[in-house]
Amino acid sequence: MPLKLERTPMREQDPVQRRRNFDEVALGYSPDEAIREAQRCIQCKHPFCVEGCPVHVQIPQFIKLITEGRFEDAAQKIKETNNLPAVCGRVCPQEEQCEARCVLNRKGQSVAIGRLERFAADYQMKKGIPDPERPIKIGKKVAVIGSGPAGLTAAADLAKLGYDVTVFESFHELGGVLVYGIPEFRLPKALVKQEIEFLKRLGVKFVTNVIVGNTLTIDDLFDDGYQAVFIGTGAGLPKFMDIPGESLNGVYSANEYLTRVNLMKAYLFPKADTPIKKAHKVAVVGGGNVAMDAARCALRLDADEVHIVYRRSEAEMPARAEEVHHAKEEGIIFDLLTNPIRIIGENGRVTGMECIKMELGEPDASGRRRPVPVKGSEFIMEVDAVIMALGTTPNPLIAATTHGLEIQPWGGIIADEATGATSRPGVYAGGDAVTGAATVILAMGAGKKAAAAIHEYLEGKK
């Protein structure tokens, strides 16, 4: 078979159209396209791609199944190591993980592993995911706190081992950042729902509206007969810049903006009851995935102009390359090497933002060149909404109400990297709650390790 160098492109909604709707941007492969792309994989004996995947998905194996047209088997193969392939195929930073290590990356373009993963998972979902084998119950209860990717993964693995697993979630909806943060046009919520349905079929119980730390504590959980607890509560606390004018109406944290839009469906207002203010000119401060998502949501809410304001240059931007590309295609304006110093308002509402130009100096602690202000380069941007996407930290609620749980000075829960074990026996933690804001797949990996460690711990306690 001739080696095809060209990566099979994936169809996308036209930027002109999609910038005004919340439908999914990337449309996925057809079976023919998937087979064509799968055939590009040369089935390495020592597949580096697998090393690049934090959960070691058996990449050549599942891709081979796709070349044979065995799409559902391919999905099952992925699921041996990754419970949420439809999600990861869409949002993993593949270009830094599996695809970065693919041998074809040198010759031209890597195999589109993420797209193939997505294809197999979507195909299986459309056919209907087969009922899982109901594990034999071993009569031990484990509590999982938080229903993001870390919690869902831990819950699934523990349920498969026969534990009675209950997931406690503070929101009214399950899925963590997958439902409240990442927008519909990048990750349709129906998909997340289906994945959660699957966990329900596995026997996992879900209780929403429970804020652990308030509604009940970890000690209460042990009193109620849970023998181990996994904390997967994410990093949900927003940061602000601490500059004048941040309390003006029209200044949002990205968390607030995205939660209003995604979780509360403010884009359907007034059909959905949660309001969002229509803005004409929006500035989003930050350069990560969160900033891209907020900017693209603002555009879809009919803003005339949306700016990304970032103090470093494009090379330092932490957002996925693909999402930066999508944002540009849709007409988002990038004001790089620019930093806000003050927000200006009239009658309590934002009317502008004063910024200063930056230039790159010496590398800082993060190894990236430190941006330094250019004297006298201040200017005023006229805007009527400012969204702060500056990163998040873990919520102190659980740490403050759990005896003997050690945390980092910045709020992260201290947990063993290999097992997720915390300073408190029987309490494990993983995902953003431990690492600070990271990625879906790392959170899932942490959930997986912790599930295995919890199993070992409870086996030992027999």
Ligand X SMILES: Cc1cc2nc3c(=O)[nH]c(=O)nc-3n(C[C@H](O)[C@H](O)[C@H](O)COP(=O)(O)OP(=O)(O)OC[C@H]3O[C@@H](n4cnc5c(N)ncnc54)[C@H](O)[C@@H]3O)c2cc1C
Contacting positions for ligand X (CB under 6 A): 91-93, 145-151, 168-171, 176-177, 181-182, 210-213, 232-234, 236, 258, 289-290, 293, 320, 395, 397-398, 431-433, 437-441, 443
User: Residue 416: which of ligand X, other proteins, ligand SF4, none does it interact with, CB under 5 to 8 A by kind?
Assistant: none
Q: Least separation, in Å, of the C-beta of 263 and ligand X?
A: 9
Most distant CA atoms of the chain, gap in Å = 70
**Euclidean distance between CA atoms 45 and 35, whole angstroms:** 20
97 binds ligand SF4 (CB under 6 A): yes
Q: Least separation, in Å, of the C-beta of 54 and other proteins?
A: 26
Nearest to ligand SF4 of 43, 214 (CB atom): 43
Nearest to ligand SF4 of 113, 290 (CB atom): 113
User: Residue 59: which of ligand SF4, other proteins, ligand X, none does it interact with, CB under 5 to 8 A by kind?
Assistant: ligand SF4
Nearest to ligand X of 202, 324 (CB atom): 324
Q: Among 105, 109, 194, 274, which residue interacts with other proteins (rule: CB under 8 A)?
A: 274
Written as six digits, the tokens of 232 are: 């997967």
Q: Give Cβ neighbours of residue 166 (< 8 Å, ≥ 6 apart).
A: 141, 142, 143, 144, 204, 205, 206, 207, 226
Count of residues that bind ligand SF4 according to CB under 6 A: 27
**Euclidean distance between CA atoms 93 and 82, whole angstroms:** 15
Nearest to other proteins of 45, 271 (CB atom): 271
Q: Among 12, 72, 246, 316, which residue interacts with other proteins (rule: CB under 8 A)?
A: 246
User: Residue 443: which of ligand SF4, ligand X, other proteins, none does it interact with, CB under 5 to 8 A by kind?
Assistant: ligand X
User: Residue 114: which of ligand X, other proteins, ligand SF4, none does it interact with, CB under 5 to 8 A by kind?
Assistant: ligand SF4
Nearest to ligand SF4 of 107, 280 (CB atom): 107
Task: Assess contact for 426 and 219: CB atoms under 8 A.
Answer: no
29-88 binders of ligand SF4 (CB under 6 A): 41-44, 47-49, 53, 55, 57, 59-60, 82, 88
451 binds ligand SF4 (CB under 6 A): no
270 binds other proteins (CB under 8 A): yes
117 binds ligand SF4 (CB under 6 A): yes
**Euclidean distance between CA atoms 231 and 401, whole angstroms:** 13
Task: Assess contact for 419 and 450: CB atoms under 8 A.
Answer: yes
Q: Least separation, in Å, of the C-beta of 391 and ligand SF4?
A: 22
Q: How far from 236 is each of 34, 256, 259, 437, CA to CA, in Å?
A: 37, 10, 11, 9
Query: Contact region for other proteins (CB under 8 A) — 99-107, 184-192, 249-257, 416-424?
Result: 249-257
210 binds other proteins (CB under 8 A): yes
Q: Least separation, in Å, of the C-beta of 265 and ligand X?
A: 15
Q: Least separation, in Å, of the C-beta of 85 and ligand SF4?
A: 7
What x/- string results for residues 298 through 317 when contact with ligand SF4 is judged by CB under 6 A? --------------------
**Euclidean distance between CA atoms 351 and 407, whole angstroms:** 40
259 binds other proteins (CB under 8 A): yes
341 binds other proteins (CB under 8 A): no
Q: Least separation, in Å, of the C-beta of 342 and other proteins?
A: 16
Q: How far from 419 is each of 68, 266, 414, 445, CA to CA, in Å?
A: 37, 39, 12, 11
**Euclidean distance between CA atoms 221 and 320, whole angstroms:** 39
Nearest to other proteins of 224, 459 (CB atom): 224
Nearest to other proteins of 239, 369 (CB atom): 239
User: Residue 261: which of other proteins, ligand X, ligand SF4, none does it interact with, CB under 5 to 8 A by kind?
Assistant: none
The residues of the shown chain that bind other proteins, judged by CB under 8 A, are 170-172, 208-211, 214-216, 236-238, 240, 246-247, 249-250, 252-253, 255-256, 259-260, 264-265, 268-277, 347-348, 395, 397
The residues of the shown chain that bind ligand SF4, judged by CB under 6 A, are 41-44, 47-49, 53, 55, 57, 59-60, 82, 88-89, 92, 94, 97-98, 102-104, 111, 113-114, 117, 441
